[in-house]
Amino acid sequence: MTNILKLIEERHSSRVPFDRERPVTKQDLRQILEAGRWAPTAHNMQNFETLVIDDKKLLEKIGNIKSPISEEFIRENYQQLSFSEKELLQKKVGLFAAMFPPSWTDPGKLYEVVRGSGARSLQETIQGSPMLLIVICDSRKRAPASEGDVLGIMSLGCVMENMWLMAQSLGIGFHVLSALSADTVEKEAKRILGIPEYLKIAFACRLGYPISTPNKYLRVRRDLEDFTYYNRFGNKSRD
């Protein structure tokens, strides 16, 4: 059994293309779904449904959905970027700018990028994946006295993490596709897949086996001492 902390540390987004001819086995898929099934949810509401997409024609239809580039995303993403490894090591949070297209890392080109790029096909994101998992939120299953259903949203995060860690343990690439939750994309995806109007796509992810080695980027986390206090906020010592 893989050490759980090591598994957590090695978990990452597989942004490279997947082998479309190598499907995820039924046994491995079942383990990933079981991991999601046993995720903690507020008040045990189990506020989710899971849709497995492995039909090639459906995958192609979803891939043909157009996804507009979000000006809000590019602007706010820029605030989280570091432009050298030294800067990233100092900040201990955020991402390395080299992970994104150069045009997305220059605030002076923001409007030019958004206006000039138009909508992109989801094929660019799906990249040949043999399988998509779409986790759907049922807002009618709301934990009591949870304003904005914040506890329900936290529960969906637990489902995602459980599935992700199980996929990681099985050597299966896992990549969350936030684009499917965007309003225009979600509407078209729900139409194609017959998802009822009252349900919402919480997140989607592609599963598969990478056909190339991803670029290595520096990954950072804050030190424990940066965010841990004892008995009183601001107290760094247990002595």
Residue 54's domain is classified under what CATH number? 3.40.109.10
In a domain, 235, yes or no: no
- 90 and 145 co-located in one domain: no
- Give pLDDT tens digits for 157-168: 999 999 999 999
In a domain, 230, yes or no: no
204 vs 137: CA distance, rounded Å:
11
Same domain, 157 and 56: yes
Domain of 30 in residue numbering reads as: 4-67+122-212
Q: Would you call 28 helix, strand, or coil by DSSP? A: helix
For residue 148, being part of any structural domain is answered with: yes
> Looking only at Cα atoms, what is the longest distance across the chain?
63
Give pLDDT, residue 128: 83
Whether residue 206 is contained in a domain is answered as yes
Residue 203 lies in a domain: yes
What pTM did the predictor assign?
0.91
Strand (E) or helix (H) holding 49: strand 48-53
Decide if pLDDT at 2 tops 60: no
* 139 has a pLDDT exceeding 90: no
Is residue 129 situated within a structural domain? yes
Number of domains in the chain: 2
For residue 178, the model assigns a pLDDT of 87
